[in-house]
Structure 1
Amino acid sequence: MSATDLEIAYTTHSQIQAKNGLQQLVLAHHTEIEEVQNIPCFFWGSMVEPLVVAKCLGTIAKIVRSSYTPVPVKLYDPIVSTGTEQIRFEGFSSCNGIYARLDLLENAVEGEFIASGTTNVDFNEPMLNALNVVKKNEVMVLGVGEKEVKVSTSQGTITEKKVKLPQRWIKGLTSVQVYLADMTEKFELNKLQTIQLLQSIPKGKSLSSFYLSFRANRYQFSPIATANSVYIGGIERLQLLLGLLPYIEKSKIYQAIDGESCAICLYLSHMRFTLALSPANNRGFSGEGNILENMLQDIPLEYIHAVNGLCKANENFNPTLLSIEHAIDFQKMDSLTHSLSAIGLLGFDLHNRQHYYRRLPFKMERILLLNPRLKNAKNLVKNNGIQLIKNNVGDIEAQVTGTDVIHTVIIKNGQAKCTCEWFNQHQTKRGLCKHILAVKIATNP
């Protein structure tokens, strides 16, 4: 197991079992954060719309198990955050190209928020089978946290489970928040428009790239790009949402500034379901690296620990207010925001256009391990691998030591170029290469 793999062990089991006429759902959890390990339960209460919740959780489970690349499918469990009167479930596809989040808002649950926290969720077969038979009018109780009750369901026994969360999974889950923060709203569809659009998704696997456009007074998918159309990479991935069609009230479509990644936010009564797609089936969010340029400035660990101690799960993160109250430079606060996202402490809510705090169950020291390009760039600076030829405002040229070769980096009027193979292959679509990053670090005041 590598240094970035997480060995997740559940001390109890997840369960749905009948008790006094109620269907009780209890999610086992694991965390590396020591200060929350002794909290037995974060939330206990009932779902106002149990059928819709069950369908949404089943959809997340389907997404987690999905893979749109030739690599073997590896199943990894979603995470759940509780606090500020709401609950969030987040998951990532096995291919790392699909991110899903279910937001259960304040009016979606009736119960007690005992403590704020984030846990790993065990979605096993008996759990899924039980969710599939939840009915509209039955009472369903959700408990998030550790319970000392043996797992038993109508489907059988749930055994204790161990999983590994590898670097690629963790990195994708954290970096996708930066992509969400970069998106802007493009379209808003009502209930009928959303249903008609999703029902028009081509069957099976499509070999063409598709775009979402508004033409002839209707929203439609087309392999032809038009003005203001939204690029959909791997349109068959949207088929994962079809199970939610009966419950959708409206939807919003978002697109990243670079025009590649996109997201759809479904509104379902007192819930929101967000699905974000990477640019293509063979491109996972973990390999993009667009976050790296915003992490060049070193942030004192005490800043990160301070935020970690001040905020509660699902609480809105206001960097401007935090900067003013604690006299932190705005530029440094911007870097802090990206660093907090990169290590999993911040998510991004498209609907509210705001970051929110949530504590993922792994340690903050993983930030450099999750971003080897950034680590290599800092090593280049540390080992004097940068020779500045020109260092003027808006005009920088440098030679950077590579493997048996010297690379030339030119940064002019904000546009960066490098002679390395990475840049020739990807340009800046997957973030900057380590040589450009190193030059930016060396010339950053």
Structure 2
Amino acid sequence: MQFQYKYHGNTAIANTPTSVGMSFVPDVYRQPTFFAGKLRKHIAFREAMSALHDVVIADLRYTPKDRTAYKAWAAEQEDIWLADMMEEASGVNAQIQEIRAELEGLRKEKYTVMESFYTAQNKYFKYLYRKNYIAWLVLDPVITVHPDELFFECFSRDESSYGKLGCDYDMFKEIHECECGTTNIDYSAHLYNEFQKIREYKETGFIVDPIGFSVQTTGESDYKEVKIDLPDSWVRGFLQVSSAMTLPARTFDLHPMDMYNFLFLLKRQKEKESPRSMRYILKPGEPVKVVFEPWNHEVVCSRSIYKGNEETEVRVWGRRRLFILERLIPVAKRFTISLLGTGMPSFYIADLGDMNFTLGLSGWTANDWTRMGNFDLMAPRAETEPMTQQTVYTALRENWVEDADSLSNRLNLDRKTVLGALSAFTQAGRAIFDLNKKVFRIRELSREALPVDRLRFANEREASANHFIDRKAVTLKSSTGTDGTLRLSGTVKDKKTKYKPELLIDSDERLAQATCTCNFYTQNKLYKGPCEHMLALRIRHSREKV
């Protein structure tokens, strides 16, 4: 999927002994979005932006050992080994020595001829790494200006970590101009080094520059156009995150020193065998306990009491991604953790006072948002008419940010209908769920409508579910509980086999529990999302309600 941007110049940071000026250049192809103000809290902002940078460059995927040098050496030695073998058979030692000397001379001559090329190539790669490293990795960061805050969003290189930095307007002591909207900003690698120069004694200005949006009849050379061809997985991953945020979760607070203890233990230990999980032991009214496997070291968070109603135990993997939060510990008031379940995504929200930093982690480092965990499939799926969807979207755009209950009351619509409409726009990249404030926000991921049909089926399971419906291969039984939950059961005929899925859907139209007799569920449970038979049952029920 190709994205095209146009910037008026480059993002720049001007450092003087008494001030720092940050001027971010937005994409002029998009609706004018700008902001200008002066920071009130410099150090906290510096650390938060540094943590966001750590998300961008994070890549913990397994990298096989580079054996290029060994293979080159082995290729050179092959002639020698072959000659040694022939020497024993024919006794042509003198001839072999002559050939060896000739080969050695040729290799030296080759290196002399190619030396300038290798030197230039090495300098070129070092230049790219130093000057344009970030551009290799991801789309330029997305920045959104809203009436109550502005926030940045980004994805890690391995697409397993999501970062969002929100700044309330109390973070700024002066705000000169502001226009709500979403845009991409020109961002380059050297900016990270410039952020490190922010100090409390320096006046720091923050600008999303509006100059590029002014009408230009001349000076087109001042603009630069950037085309980035992104895989569908990157775009789909952005859409998956907000859906995962809406799922039921176990939430509790941690003291910053508890997070420090987690990272301190991980720094001192290096896992060499499985399992490599963190096991959260949550008991109502008792301190949160975390067991680090495989060493079974238990950390008791005496400052952090679990206030939930049920005793539970949750295991999560990919724990070394938590080092992204390391720089936030000195400036954080608390960390709020939301666990969706064992092997499911987890979210860590750092309360930085007038700022908040959300780190979203997929179930495993290798289990990214796009291929393994299809959490949009478990988001609210109440089908709504196009006119109703547009009414909800227009109402949300009036205030830019609002919760589902407020929208439901204001529009006099059923809450499930509102959630269904908001879910549709979330999956289309036009809205986002803010886990920190529990509200929906307008956020247009791109200036042009995303190809929803192309992104709709992230995998064959969802496409297969719709095929079952079209072939009328689904039977359904439903019952509603006194607590508003919905239980679905039935059969799905796939060729000559009948499968028996069962689903429990909570009052917010979210999948709470599910089972099936198919092989996919037997092997994966819900760790990789629901199977096609569960989806078919749910789609059939949704269509019958219309």
Classify the TM-score, shorter chain. 0.7 to 0.9
Higher helix fraction (1 or 2):
2
Q: Which moved more, 1:224-233 or 1:173-182?
A: 224-233
CA distance in 2, matches of 1:52, 1:442: 50
Match of 1:200 in 2: 265
Distance 1:75 1:419, change over 3 A: same
- The one-letter code of the counterpart of 2:367 is R
Instruction: Check whether the contact 1:201–1:239 (CA below 8 A) recurs between aligned residues.
Output: no
SS in 1 for 2:419: helix
Is 2:34 the partner of 1:42?
Answer: yes
- The one-letter code of the counterpart of 1:47 is L
**Deviation (angstroms), 1:82:** 0.8
**Deviation (angstroms), 1:275:** 1.1
Distance 1:77 1:53, change over 3 A: same
Match of 1:187 in 2: 252
**Deviation (angstroms), 1:313:** 9.2
Distance 1:345 1:390, change over 3 A: closer
Is 2:361 the partner of 1:277?
Answer: yes
After superposition, what is the alpha-carbon deviation per residue over 1:24-70, rounded to whole angstroms, capped at 9, x for unaligned? 222233488xxxx352x421111212332122112212211211224
Alignment counterpart, residue 68 of structure 1, candidates 42, 60, 64: 60
Is 2:139 the partner of 1:107?
Answer: no
**Deviation (angstroms), 1:94:** 1.7
Match of 1:353 in 2: 438
Match of 1:16 in 2: 12
Is 2:250 the partner of 1:166?
Answer: no
Instruction: Check whether the contact 1:347–1:355 (CA below 8 A) recurs between aligned residues.
Output: yes
CA distance in 2, matches of 1:221, 1:335: 38
Alignment counterpart, residue 26 of structure 2, candidates 18, 29, 41: 29
Is 2:278 the partner of 1:210?
Answer: yes
CA distance in 2, matches of 1:102, 1:66: 16
CA distance in 2, matches of 1:69, 1:329: 44
CA distance in 1, matches of 2:167, 2:37: 12
**Deviation (angstroms), 1:88:** 0.9
Alignment counterpart, residue 49 of structure 2, candidates 39, 54, 57: 57
- The one-letter code of the counterpart of 1:97 is S
Match of 1:398 in 2: 491
Match of 1:380 in 2: 467
Q: Which moved more, 1:20-29 or 1:218-227?
A: 218-227
Instruction: Check whether the contact 2:277–2:318 (CA below 8 A) recurs between aligned residues.
Output: yes
Instruction: Check whether the contact 1:340–1:346 (CA below 8 A) recurs between aligned residues.
Output: yes
Match of 2:499 in 1: 409
SS in 2 for 1:10: strand
**Deviation (angstroms), 1:171:** 1.8
- The one-letter code of the counterpart of 1:7 is F
CA distance in 1, matches of 2:245, 2:14: 39
CA distance in 1, matches of 2:43, 2:227: 29
- The one-letter code of the counterpart of 2:334 is K
- The one-letter code of the counterpart of 1:210 is M
Q: Which moved more, 1:186-195 or 1:233-242?
A: 186-195
CA distance in 2, matches of 1:299, 1:218: 41
Gaps of 5+ in 1: 150-157
Instruction: Check whether the contact 1:293–1:437 (CA below 8 A) recurs between aligned residues.
Output: no
Alignment counterpart, residue 131 of structure 1, candidates 195, 211, 215: 195
- The one-letter code of the counterpart of 1:121 is I
**Deviation (angstroms), 1:356:** 3.0
Distance 1:337 1:361, change over 3 A: same
**Deviation (angstroms), 1:332:** 2.4
SS in 2 for 1:291: helix
- Percentage of pairs with the same residue: 18
Q: Which moved more, 1:353-362 or 1:88-97?
A: 353-362
Distance 1:395 1:245, change over 3 A: closer
**Deviation (angstroms), 1:13:** 4.0
Distance 1:126 1:200, change over 3 A: same
- The one-letter code of the counterpart of 1:316 is V
Distance 1:14 1:181, change over 3 A: farther
- The one-letter code of the counterpart of 1:209 is S
CA distance in 2, matches of 1:357, 1:302: 18
Q: Which moved more, 1:230-239 or 1:311-320?
A: 311-320
- The one-letter code of the counterpart of 2:411 is H
Instruction: Check whether the contact 1:65–1:76 (CA below 8 A) recurs between aligned residues.
Output: no
Alignment counterpart, residue 420 of structure 2, candidates 318, 335, 355: 335
| Number of residue pairs matched by the alignment | 425
Instruction: Check whether the contact 2:503–2:534 (CA below 8 A) recurs between aligned residues.
Output: no
> Between Structure 1 and Structure 2, whose CA radius of gyration is higher?
2
Match of 1:155 in 2: none
CA distance in 2, matches of 1:430, 1:74: 26
- The one-letter code of the counterpart of 2:208 is V
After superposition, what is the alpha-carbon deviation per residue over 1:237-284, rounded to whole angstroms, capped at 9, x for unaligned? 111222223322222222115663222221223211111211111111
SS in 2 for 1:285: coil
**Deviation (angstroms), 1:363:** 4.4
- The one-letter code of the counterpart of 1:431 is G
Using the size of structure 2 for normalisation, the TM-score is 0.68
**Runs of 4+ deviating beyond 6 Å:** 214-218
Gaps of 5+ in 2: 65-135, 214-222, 299-310, 480-486, 505-512
Instruction: Check whether the contact 2:168–2:355 (CA below 8 A) recurs between aligned residues.
Output: yes
Using the size of structure 1 for normalisation, the TM-score is 0.81
Instruction: Check whether the contact 2:55–2:324 (CA below 8 A) recurs between aligned residues.
Output: yes
Is 2:343 the partner of 1:262?
Answer: no
CA distance in 1, matches of 2:225, 2:503: 56
Match of 2:113 in 1: none
Distance 1:186 1:406, change over 3 A: same
CA distance in 1, matches of 2:398, 2:21: 23
SS in 2 for 1:238: helix
CA distance in 2, matches of 1:159, 1:54: 28
SS in 2 for 1:11: strand
After superposition, what is the alpha-carbon deviation per residue over 1:211-241, rounded to whole angstroms, capped at 9, x for unaligned? 2458997865522599645433111111122
**Deviation (angstroms), 1:145:** 4.9
**Deviation (angstroms), 1:343:** 2.0
